[in-house]
Structure 1
Amino acid sequence: MTSISIAHRPASVRPSPSIAAKALVTKLRAEGRRIIDLTVGEPDFVTPRSIMDAAQAAMRAGDTHYTASNGTKSLRQAAANKLMRENGLSYTPDDIVIGSGAKQLIQTALAATLNPGDEVIVPAPYWVSYPDLATLSDGVPVVVACTEEAGFKLLPSQIEAAITSRTKWLVLNSPNNPSGAVYSIAELTALGEVLARHPQVLVMTDEIYEHFIYDGERAISFGRAVPALLERTLTINGVSKAYAMTGWRIGYAAGPRVLAQAMTSLLSQSTTCPSSISQAAALSALSGDQTFVVEARRAYQTRRDRAVSLLDAIPGIACRRPEGAFYAYPNVAGLIGRRTPDGTWIESDLDLSQLLLREGGVSVMDGTSYGLSPYLRVSFATSLETIETGCAAIARVVATLD
């Protein structure tokens, strides 16, 4: 048999835990099990009809060919208009890169800038892919734990302590997946004051959940809060979450032109360009009526309030109210060290998540996958009925613990 030698890169990264959880739910359902899925990191809504109509119109018009590697100029202009209109950030189309999802743009930016051994500061809890994407580009993720007492947010003293001569990037995600933490303008300004003393550090700000901030609050872009650092800030966003377009795979990045050009060069040799049809749909999303986003935010706030109320009422679970995104991140320290009816000890949040799936038929993510334990990530990007049924199942399993 032919022996295939695999390079170090696949072995250096983990498969995405959230994608693996989704695959497991699909597998168990195919086997006939009834699974309540609270892992999902995507809206349960259907893409708005006006956006689908725009895609169909593009196809009928023959807009089915390659585009520029950094995306169509019309979509880059729409992204620039959006960033000025909603975020107060001034960019031209040449400063913007369209990619096949925000994740691709994050990976491409890291690949374009990291040399072996360069460090990427990643506050925890973090989106599961940040450390692995840094590793994939021969970087070194430096994880900094952000405590619940600090609102799951990075403190200026922590970033000062984490920066070394090898630091290349700080990754900020606000609103945060999985905690729902949202940085205020004062908190971003304080971080900026530290970063100003370290000119070699670039800032990657992932704002994909910006439209889902609750209780009347609004998102503040890092570049708006700290304009002096805009020349070394890369703003990541996309249409997946805000417009229920996860399957369309369109993200956009805005930053220094030299970085945009380097990213475009890499993209030209990977995907060539994003889907022309999806770009037409994204153009409609960014330029069209925004009523859908407002209504989705309202629905998520109702779901958040219900999920937090139900989770917080379960003995052994304490659930902080997330300020944004569509996840709750309940503290399950009160359940660690307890015993199941068959005599198995719950030693971690991973043990607990597996127990909930096995005995309760409810799938949630463990906090270990997000770099901070002991927590669970519970998605409320699903119906109220599913939230209520899932939380009831969690309560029933917890009640059996000794």
Structure 2
Amino acid sequence: PSNPTGSAYEKEELEAIAQCALENNLLMISDEIYEWIVFDGFRHTSLASLSKEVQNNCVVINGVSKCYAMTGWRIGYIAADAEIVKQVAKLQGQSTSNPCSISQAASIEALTGPHDDVKEMVRQFEKRRDIVVKMLTAIPGVTCNKPKGSFYSFPDFSGLYGKKDGNGKTLNGSLEFTEYLLTTKKVAIVPGIAFGADNHARLSFAASLDKIEEGIKRIQEAVELLK
């Protein structure tokens, strides 16, 4: 699953990407930080699991910030060919040195211990995801695909572009639209232009259900004020 869309690659898609990379002698980098946060029975496939040849030609990036809600512990890691890891360690050792021993011990426990809490967290995210999509798509001019994973939705607000706010200002893109939501209803979402997709904006549902529902209610109220 990815940020900002919540989309995820099927195994067959990964196989096609890997084959293309191998044929062109490209090193693959796979960010799998959201591997456990998947919905509707979707199964994450690690790129390195496809074959030994793929494994030898890819770098898997991961960490404990997302799936284990350990953002402040600042632990990330890679899995790659030993020579690549050796060179990365040289760079890492001279830039940030190393994370504290407490963070390392806690991360090992998270990775190797029971995943009951993770599964419950994912169930709650899936529930919130469904509510977010339902509420957003009920707003005229807004469309939203259902994310397969992560805790983001990436609705399309372009159906509202060209409309004017109460001051007569025309909203022509995601920057102006998100600024309008912030100043009018105190709702902060990320403009899609930051991700190269100006028709969209990113919402996170890593918040309480009450706050999510209140936030989208305010978005709807702001949309109703447009002319």
TM-score, length of structure 1 as denominator length = 0.56
Does 1:188 find its partner at 2:14? yes
The answer as to whether partners of 1:189 and 1:226 remain within 8 angstroms in 2 is no
CA distance in 2, matches of 1:272, 1:397: 47
Write out per-residue CA displacement over residues 164-208 of structure 1, whole angstroms, 9 at most, x where no aligned residue: xxxxxxxxxxx0100011100111111122112111x21110000
Partner of 2:174: 349
CA RMSD of aligned residues (A): 0.9
2:217 matches 1:396: no
Which whole-Å CA distance do the structure 1 matches of 2:97 and 2:158 have between them?
47
CA distance in 2, matches of 1:273, 1:228: 31
Structure 1: distance between partners of 2:114 and 2:20: 39
Q: Hey, what does 2:4 align to over in structure 1?
A: 178
Partner SS state of residue 123, structure 2: helix
Distance 1:368 1:278 in 2: 35
> What do residues 94-128 of structure 1 show as CA deviations (whole Å, max 9, x unaligned)?
xxxxxxxxxxxxxxxxxxxxxxxxxxxxxxxxxxx
Aligned equivalent of 1:280: 105
**CA distance 1:357–1:226, shift in 2 (3 Å):** farther
Aligned counterpart, 1:334: 159
Q: Please point out which of 32, 44, 49 is paired with 1:219.
A: 44
Question: Aligned equivalents of 2:134 and 2:52: distance in 1?
Answer: 39
CA distance in 2, matches of 1:205, 1:224: 11
Report whether the alignment pairs 1:379 with 2:218.
no
Question: Which structure 1 residue ranges, 4+ long, deviate > 6 Å from structure 2?
Answer: none
**Residue 261 of structure 1: CA displacement?**
0.2
Structure 2 residues without counterparts, runs of 5 or longer: none
1:332, 1:228 → 2: CA distance? 42
- What count of residue pairs does the alignment treat as equivalent? 227
State the match for 1:84 in structure 2: none
Amino acid corresponding to residue 194 of structure 1 in structure 2: C
3-state SS of the aligned residue for 1:362? coil
Percent identity of equivalent pairs: 39
Deviation at 1:277, TM superposition (A): 1.0
Is this contact kept in 2: 1:180–1:323, CA < 8 A?
yes
The 5 Å alignment of 1:90-101 reads: none
Map of 2:73 onto structure 1: 248
TM-score by length of 2: 0.98
TM-superposed deviation, 1:225 = 2.9
Q: Which residue of 2 aligns with 1:207?
A: 32
Q: How does 1:1-400 map to 2 (within 5 A)?
A: 175-199=1-25, 201-400=26-225
- Please give the secondary structure, in 2, of the residue aligned with 1:196: helix
C-alpha contact (below 8 Å) 1:360/1:394 kept by paired residues: yes
Q: Are the counterparts in 2 of residues 318 and 332 from structure 1 also a CA contact under 8 Å?
A: yes
Q: Which has the higher contact order (CA 8 A, sep 6+)?
A: 1
CA distance in 2, matches of 1:337, 1:348: 8
How much does 1:227 deviate?
A: 4.0
Give the Å deviation of 1:285.
0.6
